[in-house]
Amino acid sequence: MSNSVQLEMFKGEVLTEEQQRQVDSFIDTQAQNAELSQKEASRIMLLLDEAGFIYGENYVNTTRVKEVTKEVTLGYNYNNTNFNVELTYLETTGCVVIKYDTVRDGKIEKTGSRVYVDRNNKLECSSITPQYRYYKPSTLLEKLNLHNAKAVAKLERNNKEKIAIDYTIEKYQKLYPEAKVKESYGYERFGGRYSTVEVEFESGSSVTFRLGYGYELDKERVVSSYDAQSESISQKLDRFNNQKAK
């Protein structure tokens, strides 16, 4: 493709020699980027294929190069020498994308993430690995399979959790029809967020339950309670004093 943009009129202005140099440099750089992107995509695809990745199922190549005519801004902002010019050049979009499973809206969906290659023919795709590092292509395939298996397990846990939540809410709504029974959440320092069911009575008192281990039904346990009509210290002492001896 010719990269000559002559010193001609553009929007009533003539390009200076420095502007022409920047135009030529931009067009050349875009052509080089297009060539490098295509070569890198081919290299990554070969590594993936050799490792056992399946095109269309495990990865796709969305790299596209096309000739476009657009207005671009060149020059430098710091000294106010930037200028706009309409150019025809090669535009590169897309990349090689690894497809992996994720849980969204109660089902497994495929999504994608860019894969990178280093000089040692190792690949990096942080969306399916626990670390930002490069792996051998065969190891990356193992990471992908493990990630997908975890997504399936997560969906199964989510389904069990929803069943347990719905069951527990319905259980306490029947027991205490005047109370507000709703799903809520608690937090653990290392375990993160977990689901709970809160029963709030008209008095303002409430009890919060955590679901049973493994989401086993009818095995919820109390994690907190609040008594809106709590006793004063003197009332509590009097009650303790009137309790029967053991």
Other C-beta atoms closer than 10 Å to the C-beta of 106 total 9
pLDDT at residue 76, rounded to an integer: 83
pLDDT at residue 100, rounded to an integer: 97
Residue 102 lies in a domain: no
pLDDT at residue 238, rounded to an integer: 84
* Residues 87, 170 within the same domain: no
Give the model confidence (pLDDT) of 10-59 as tens digits.
555 688 899 999 999 999 999 999 999 999 999 999 999 999 999 999 99
Q: Which helix (H) or strand (E) holds 40?
A: helix 17-51
CA distance 125 to 148: 14
pLDDT at residue 77, rounded to an integer: 77
**Residue at which a domain ends, from 68, 94, 120:** 94
CA distance 32 to 92: 10
pLDDT at residue 13, rounded to an integer: 67
Say which residues have a Cβ less than 8 Å from residue 222's Cβ, sequence separation at least 6. Answer: 207, 208, 209, 210
Residue 170 lies in a domain: yes
* Residues 75, 1 within the same domain: yes
CATH of the domain at 214: 3.10.450
pTM: 0.74
**Residue at which a domain ends, from 94, 117, 147:** 94
Domain count across the chain: 2
Residue 25 lies in a domain: yes
CA distance 147 to 152: 9
Residue 116 lies in a domain: no
CA distance 125 to 140: 8
pLDDT at residue 1, rounded to an integer: 45
Residue 2 lies in a domain: yes
Can you give the residue range of the structural domain that contains 199?
157-240
Residue 8 lies in a domain: yes
**Residue ranges of the chain with per-residue pLDDT less than 70:** 1-13
**Residue at which a domain ends, from 49, 74, 94:** 94
Give the residue from 45, 147, 56, 162 showing the smallest Cα distance to 102.
147
CA distances to 100, 135, 143 from 131, rounded to whole Å, are 16, 10, 11
* Residues 8, 84 within the same domain: yes
Residue 44 lies in a domain: yes
pLDDT at residue 79, rounded to an integer: 74
Residue 127 lies in a domain: no
